[in-house]
Chain A
């Protein structure tokens, strides 16, 4: 065997105990994730810490006089006001009226928004007819339509429900339409190759694929619904939470105002819980990042 150059003589060194790194490698233990998190505080408790701290700070500033009752009532006063409002039936009836407005507005706006999105999402003819019009109207600030609605629909329930429906419809339209158009063409083709007809494709491929977009739309539209409710009830309302708030303003009752705000927040939280539940049920197939 002829070798051009002899390999270095390592026969002696290969047995030597001297490590290649004079001080060895620094080894770090990879801990299992359960051990890394020593304090196993339940999720709900961790989530409650922020709001509770805020509440405590508020109570302290009220008690020390840093926050005068004319600016903002203390949490204790507010709790008392809330209890009184519940006891005399004012708050429950106002909530019922407001909730009813939101539900009607959501239903009407939902049907219109989703209906239009289906028309323009599923067919090119529908897109040409509907989409440009909706996109144009979308840029009009819907709050600005309140005077027109009052002239058209009077000062009863109709303008308030219409305002909510309008805000809801645009959000749902945009997201459902985008969801439909965002469906993977490869899946549509696979459906076609499996012998699905037009309706089958819509039912089994397009609509389920548009569902994540629709849920986003639902979240936005719920937020808009509460916003529209506040606007609608601030003007010419004779009942509902907004009316209660306006009345309290005239008597400088900051405690009642805050109770109404808390009720809005509570209803918003409730709506969010509904959407979360819906998402958990309807979108469990989705491979998404859920945080660590």
Chain B
């Protein structure tokens, strides 16, 4: 599209124009425009039910009852909130599932190695812990060498410690692979930790769009992120007290 303001056509990983998706006449996505640049890590924030997961499913090609233009790369992969491993396939077979041709087990093992799961390649999914299963699911996405990696709250079901590790892993993998990532989340801190750009979805459109510039690696709660954090929370409709609350009331 010549009117594209985001740069040369070839560097876009996703272009969406006028996307509408309605459930029983009620539009969840309503004339949405979105451009994702190649290699960019974008976080998509929003309340539950705001349509962010629906948008991800549209981009993944899983939801096709849509109107509008959606352009996505051919090679794309999804990691869902639940690992969704086939319980009847050993881990390495799960990783290779759906790959064209007859790939060798070593292909799967390389991807599993990358997520630190090389030693569980021959295990049944039922024997994996929650974090391990989620990493296997990530390996399954990465082995496809996607140009666009779609992450649908992949850390949502993990415990706090495992989540920190998994977030670090995703950051590393993204820096190594350089693919465009769209991370759907409702966690503002997670978005600020990982993303180059944060989007807030509201009323079926991208209501707020901001770059996240502080240098990496970032730590949650760093001063450089505080202002952006408040702003994003405000966009999400969460009002914060003007002064950070402490245990002692200030003297008047």
Chain A residues proximal to chain B, CB less than 8 Å: 186-187, 189-196, 200, 204-205, 208-209, 211, 284-287
Which chain B residues numbered 82 to 98 have a C-beta less than 8 Å away from chain A?
82, 84, 86-89, 97-98
Chain A residues within an 8 Å CB radius of B82: 186
Q: Which residues on the B side are within 8 Å of A196 (C-beta)?
A: 97-98
Verify B97–A204 contact, CB threshold 8 A: yes
From A186, A189, A190, A208, B88 is in contact (CB under 8 Å) with A208
CB distance from B138 to the nearest CB of A (A): 13
Nearest to B143 among chain A residues (CB) is A194
Task: Give every chain A residue within 8 A of B99 (Cβ-Cβ).
Answer: 195
Min CB gap A177→B, angstroms: 19
- Any chain A CB within 8 A of the CB of B51? no
Q: A285-B126, A286-B126 are in contact. Are A191 and B98 (CB under 8 A)?
A: yes
User: With a CB–CB cut-off of 8 A, which chain A residues contact B62?
Assistant: 189, 192-193
Q: Which of A193, A195, A205, A286 contacts B86 (CB 8 A)?
A: A205
Chain A residue nearest in CB terms to B75: A195
What's the Cα separation between A205 and B99 when bound, in Å? 14
CB neighbours of A208 from chain B (8 A)? 86, 88-89
Q: Which of A187, A193, A211 contacts B60 (CB 8 A)?
A: A193
Establish whether residues A285 and B87, one from each chain, have CB atoms under 8 Å apart when the complex forms: yes
B112: interface (CB < 8 Å) = no
Chain B interface size, as a band, is: 20 to 34
**1/0 contact trace for B115-134 toward A, CB 8 Å?**
00000000011100000000
Which residues of B lie under 8 Å from residue A186 when comparing CB positions?
A: 80, 82, 84
A-B pairs with the 3 shortest C-beta distances?
A194-B98, A287-B126, A190-B84
- Count chain A CB atoms within 10 A of each CB in B80, B87, B98, B99 and give the residue with the most: B98
Residues of A within 8 A of B126 (CB): 285-287
Which of B87, B125, B140 contacts A194 (CB under 8 A)? B140
CB distance B88 to A211 under 8 Å? yes
With A284-B124, A285-B124 as given contacts, are A209 and B88 in contact (CB-CB < 8 Å)? yes
Q: Is B78 an interface residue (CB 8 A)?
A: yes
Q: How far is the CB of A194 from the nearest CB of chain B, in Å?
A: 3
Inter-chain CA distance A191–B140, complex, in Å, is 11
- Select B80's contact among A190, A211, A285, beta carbons within 8 Å: A190
In the complex, A58→B126 CA distance in Å?
Answer: 47
* Other A-B pairs beyond A195-B144, A285-B124, 17, CB < 8 Å: A186-B80, A187-B84, A190-B78, A190-B84, A193-B62, A193-B77, A194-B98, A195-B98, A195-B99, A195-B100, A205-B86, A208-B88, A209-B88, A211-B88, A285-B87, A286-B88, A286-B126
Q: How far is the CA of A204 from the CA of B85 in the complex (A)?
A: 12
Across the interface, do B89 and A287 meet the contact criterion of CB distance under 8 Å?
no
Question: Is the beta-carbon distance between B97 and A285 smaller than 8 angstroms?
Answer: no
Are the CB atoms of A286 and B98 closer together than 8 Å? Answer: no
Residue pair B87, A191 in contact (C-beta under 8 Å) = no
